[in-house]
């Protein structure tokens, strides 16, 4: 079931869908559905420069990253292929040559 959002004009809950728009029967306000689906926008992961990252993207590390519990360091400029977006503090799941599977923060990478 889909629930319609409240009317941005009068906060009525009795809105309905009409084609690509939502319509409020109380104040006759109409607005596009795309703008209302902000839940999707919240889950977008961006790199340090604001580029959107998606599953399968390649990124470059922009900062030396020490790996907790080891002496390994992921050097600046390391290329990481085929990332996977996950939720959490470290929002990128990936495998790095010579290091193995690990998680990165999207703020420390740049889309390649």
Residues that bind Zn ion (CB under 5 A): 7, 9-10, 12, 24, 26-27, 29
Do the beta carbons of residue 52 and residue 44 sit within 8 Å? Answer: yes
Closer Cβ to Zn ion, 7 or 45, answer by number: 7
CB of 73 to Zn ion, least distance (A): 56
Do the beta carbons of residue 48 and residue 107 sit within 8 Å? Answer: yes
- Give the C-alpha separation, 79 to 96, whole Å: 8
Closer Cβ to Zn ion, 24 or 94, answer by number: 24
CB of 10 to Zn ion, least distance (A): 3
Closer Cβ to Zn ion, 7 or 109, answer by number: 7
Closer Cβ to Zn ion, 8 or 107, answer by number: 8
Strands (E), the chain: 16-18, 21-23, 30-32, 45-46, 52-53, 59-61, 65-66, 73-74, 79-80, 84-85, 92-96, 100-104, 109-111
CB of 38 to Zn ion, least distance (A): 18
CB of 6 to Zn ion, least distance (A): 8
């Amino acid at each position: 079931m889909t629930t319609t959002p409240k009317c941005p004009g009068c906060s009525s809950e009795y809105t309905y869908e009409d084609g690509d728009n939502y319509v409020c029967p109380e104040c006759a306000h109409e607005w596009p559905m795309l703008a209302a689906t902000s839940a999707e926008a919240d889950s977008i992961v961006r790199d340090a420069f604001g580029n959107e990252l998606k599953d399968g993207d390649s990124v470059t590390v922009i900062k030396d990253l020490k790996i907790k519990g080891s002496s390994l360091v992921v050097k600046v400029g390391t290329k990481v292929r085929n990332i996977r977006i996950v939720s959490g503090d470290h929002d990128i799941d990936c495998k790095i040559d010579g290091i193995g599977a690990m998680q990165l923060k999207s703020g420390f990478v740049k889309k390649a």
